[in-house]
Structure 1
Amino acid sequence: MDNNVNHYNEAAEMLKVLAHPVRLCMVKGLLEKGECNVSYMYTCLNAPQSTISQHLQKLKSAGIIEGRREGLEIYYSVCDERVSELIKILIK
């Protein structure tokens, strides 16, 4: 058995963040599209912009996504390759 508890804690935290249907949908969409801004996401998901922003913040805090500013817009993309592989396995 591996005694590296930090490794397991990190993996468990990532899974907790991804364990929400809207966040899974957002990450899958980002992987398919490459990058999106909040306006595009809330239109596609038919959810309030504030809700999308809260989910984005959780994903960003977990290091799953990153943002790139272009003028007034921030374009988000997945920055953790492990998440890409995980989504491919979970959602076909």
Structure 2
Amino acid sequence: MTNVSKFNEHAELLKALAHPTRLCIVDGLMGGECNVTHMQACLEIPQSTVSQHLAILRSKGIIEGRRQGTEVVYTVVNEKAKKIVSLLLED
């Protein structure tokens, strides 16, 4: 019998990445740290929408934020997510 919880974890990771904006955010963060203001300008969507997507990615352990002065900068910390996004966005 297989361990279903392992598949649940993978499915949750895939669900979190299964949105074009979140894929774009993770792809952008793989190049280095970034704050919400910069993401908002690049994505051309409201800050509240960026923050909602970041909250989903954070809750699944894909990204982490750290305070830098008055801003929070985000980085990708989940290696599986990095591999998945790299594979998906290969040319």
Same fold (TM over 0.5): yes
Residue 50 of structure 2 corresponds to residue 27 of structure 1: no
How many Å apart are 1:71 and its aligned residue?
Answer: 1.4
SS in 1 for 2:72: strand
Structure 1: tracts of 5 or more residues without a match: none
CA distance in 2 between counterparts of 1:65 and 1:36 reads 11
Structure 2: tracts of 5 or more residues without a match: none
SS in 2 for 1:13: helix
Q: Which runs of 4+ in 1 moved over 3 A?
A: none
Question: Residue 42 of structure 1: which of 37, 40, 43 is its match?
Answer: 40
**For this pair of structures, how many residues does the alignment match?**
90
Residue 80 of structure 2 corresponds to residue 82 of structure 1: yes
How much identity, in percent, do the aligned residues show? 54
**Deviation by residue 1:17-72 (Cα, 9 ceiling, x = unmatched):** 1000000000000002x110000000000000000000000000000000010111
SS in 2 for 1:75: strand
CA distance in 2 between counterparts of 1:79 and 1:16 reads 17
